Structure 1
């Protein structure tokens, strides 16, 4: 506020009067803005907690986004010579694996040259390995280094790597093919005899020929072009890493039954955490979003999704209640350990479903109309870029920013009001001061006119 000394001339408490006027004008507006700011801040905080709770729940739903998420298997190998994986649907069992031969690609070497700067000729080189082939054009000015680079950089190259080795006997172009398998030995041909030294005249050692992998599964011979043996054992892939004839590796496959139970219980806990947050936010006495329509809507929608059967399923289990996941009187999910009469407990029903109908459990959650799918869609409608809560958060942020502008406008208005008051009371101050001066003069004059006592 402006600093002056109103009332000095008149002796009146004009500063106190001005302050009282300003307070009378300011206090109601300040209280209104403070209440508005508190309301918006509280609501903004509540919406933020709302969005965060939905996001936390969604992070758990992502773990249940595919039926395969439930089909986790434990696969193990007793030896580093063999690695094993499954697609999640393999039958339990164990197998003895012996690796007789690892797969390898092929290698060829050119005739000797004086140096890597030697040129060869002009024409086209053709590299082949089984059904794979590609061409490289060689110019008369290309030396061995340039030819090497052209081969390695050829876009159609199926896996041939060219190198140059410089040894006592000369410089050689060496070609290595990564394509393995008995039928995939690399050959090199050319369109011109000038290129024979690096094509048809290349040599290959007995250990440089492409080979297939050979292994025995419980004594039965199997061959593959690569070291990966897929579906030799149905739904299982084992990879040969080293030869181990006479010392078989035992690979074992078993279902990870704890995985499904862990996922379901994690879902139940996450759902209940979300419901707990919504109950706190919507508390009628002190909730940040008491009586909020969005809180009520989400509660109702959550309850509907987890209690309805999943449409389109044809198995025995069509909803969460069928696998022992039910809703209690507080709106929370539970896997009840207590049986009622002849009805199995929720814990028993879940164990049976995971053991005997695991695929159906996955479909309840992750099919196109599944629980996880519907809940994810619901959350996106509130938390997405154009979601209800996202737009609401943006609008509240604008309102919060607007309050600062209102405070600034109020301060400006009060300053103007104070200036106007001071101008008005300044006139009063000078007028009263003038009257006081006149009064003092009259009093003094009258006093001087009184006869003096003898």
Structure 2
């Protein structure tokens, strides 16, 4: 607030009069700005909702753009104590009887014993070799067993050795373990230098031998350096848990048609959620005569139109051009997708190759076309980003208009106070003059008031 006045001369409430006049000028303009700002914020929120729905839909498209989505395999085991299994689309349906004879293990070596792991041992070098690869650890004269352990573990060229200190009744020693399991990953250690160092590291004791895993698949022996056996059965990975040659685990690989249908249903659900979002934001309620935030906006209508156009098109497959409706996927009059479950199941069972082509073909498949359309709107620098930038600029202009209005209203308020103060002073002066004249008249001889 600028100047103030109490209206001593005129008796008027000048502060209130000025407030009323300023508010009459300022409040309608503020209300107009508030309404515009609320509308813009509503549009920004609406476009944010559309972008979020498009991104979610894009995630569903990504799953359907991968050919493996249309060749999932289910894996069942008659027991889970000895192994677990996973299968890719390369696996062939069938059953396999598997026995786990031996688990793969890493080698463990124990060095000689020292009385104090913090005491210096002696200078020299330790040469390690694992599976044909080597590295060397230089030992300084002041290095203790603790320091040597640290140097081994932190060596940048360490090719696969872990070191730890174990202390028992006889003293402390390093336990050297190969990081990887399997016979090929045995550790060879050579020590040179001071006698004390070679005495501790020159001779090691094997505490645990390196072992390959051994399994039998339908009677065929398979060895592996790891307990994760990959490739023994095409497209199948076996993770071994426990060994017992007397126990047989039956692994059954089957085509997972239900998984394919689930993936397509998830895609349809995501698409319909997107269409619902667009419809809600562009609707007009005839009963209430109220429009949604983006009613009449060309951008959401453009998305709807493009999506329907793509879904209603033809797609190249190994069996010629086909439409989504030929696989039981149609568009209703509201723009939502519907699935004829029986027809889709029939396609999955009898025409999976064409269904795969329709969805996953690079650039020309349904997933690729829809993704390209989504990217135009929701991608970085896309149409939605452009619209949001424009709306942000409008908000900035409104804020600038607010500041300009405040400046004008302050100047207007100051002018009003100046005018009313001048009037009040004039009234005060006139009142004083009137009182003075009256006093003079009263002092004249023979003057009386009527």
Tell whether the structures are fold-level matches, with TM greater than 0.5: yes
Residue 44 to residue 196, structure 1, CA distance change in 2 (3 Å) = closer
**Distance (whole Å) between structure 1 residues aligned to residue 177 and residue 185 of structure 2:** 12
Aligned-residue offset at 1:249: 1.5
Is the deviation greater in 132-141 or in 290-299?
A: 132-141
Is the deviation greater in 25-34 or in 381-390?
A: 25-34
* Alignment of 1:51 onto 2:55: no
**Distance (whole Å) between structure 1 residues aligned to residue 175 and residue 37 of structure 2:** 78
> For the Cα contact (< 8 Å) 1:103–1:213, is it kept in 2?
yes
**Distance (whole Å) between structure 2 residues aligned to residue 170 and residue 20 of structure 1:** 94
- Secondary structure of residue in 2 paired with 1:95: strand
> For the Cα contact (< 8 Å) 2:112–2:201, is it kept in 1?
no
Aligned-residue offset at 1:281: 2.2
**Distance (whole Å) between structure 2 residues aligned to residue 330 and residue 83 of structure 1:** 47
Corresponding position of 2:247:
247
Instruction: Give runs of aligned pairs for residues 63-74 of structure 1, distance below 5 A.
Output: 63-64=63-64, 66-74=66-74
> For the Cα contact (< 8 Å) 1:72–1:255, is it kept in 2?
yes
> For the Cα contact (< 8 Å) 1:67–1:359, is it kept in 2?
no
Greater share of strand: 2
Instruction: Give runs of aligned pairs for residues 396-411 of structure 1, distance below 5 A.
Output: 396-411=391-406
Corresponding position of 1:352:
346
Is the deviation greater in 228-237 or in 33-42?
A: 33-42
> For the Cα contact (< 8 Å) 2:190–2:201, is it kept in 1?
yes
Instruction: Give runs of aligned pairs for residues 27-426 of structure 1, distance below 5 A.
Output: 29=29, 32-33=32-33, 36-64=36-64, 66-77=66-77, 78-113=79-114, 115-116=116-117, 117=119, 119=121, 122=124, 124-169=125-170, 171-190=172-191, 194=195, 197-198=199-200, 201-204=203-206, 208-283=208-283, 286-310=291-315, 314=318, 320-335=324-339, 337=340, 347-358=341-352, 361-369=355-363, 370-417=365-412, 419-420=414-415
> For the Cα contact (< 8 Å) 1:45–1:288, is it kept in 2?
no
Is the deviation greater in 162-171 or in 97-106?
A: 162-171
Aligned-residue offset at 1:98: 0.8
RMSD of aligned residue pairs (Cα, Å): 4.3
Residue 12 to residue 66, structure 1, CA distance change in 2 (3 Å) = same
Q: How many pairs align?
A: 436
> For the Cα contact (< 8 Å) 1:64–1:372, is it kept in 2?
yes
Corresponding position of 1:344:
none
**Distance (whole Å) between structure 2 residues aligned to residue 154 and residue 373 of structure 1:** 47
**Distance (whole Å) between structure 1 residues aligned to residue 344 and residue 140 of structure 2:** 72
Residue 230 to residue 316, structure 1, CA distance change in 2 (3 Å) = farther
- Secondary structure of residue in 2 paired with 1:298: helix
Aligned-residue offset at 1:140: 4.7
Structure 2, unaligned runs of 5 or more: 285-289
Structure 1, unaligned runs of 5 or more: 338-346
> For the Cα contact (< 8 Å) 2:42–2:293, is it kept in 1?
yes
CA deviations 1:3-45 (Å, max 9, x no partner) are 7577975x99999998997677557645654553454344334
**Distance (whole Å) between structure 1 residues aligned to residue 111 and residue 346 of structure 2:** 66
> For the Cα contact (< 8 Å) 1:75–1:84, is it kept in 2?
yes
> For the Cα contact (< 8 Å) 1:180–1:211, is it kept in 2?
yes
Aligned-residue offset at 1:256: 2.8
- Secondary structure of residue in 2 paired with 1:259: helix
Aligned-residue offset at 1:92: 2.4
Is the deviation greater in 319-328 or in 259-268?
A: 319-328
**Distance (whole Å) between structure 2 residues aligned to residue 366 and residue 243 of structure 1:** 42
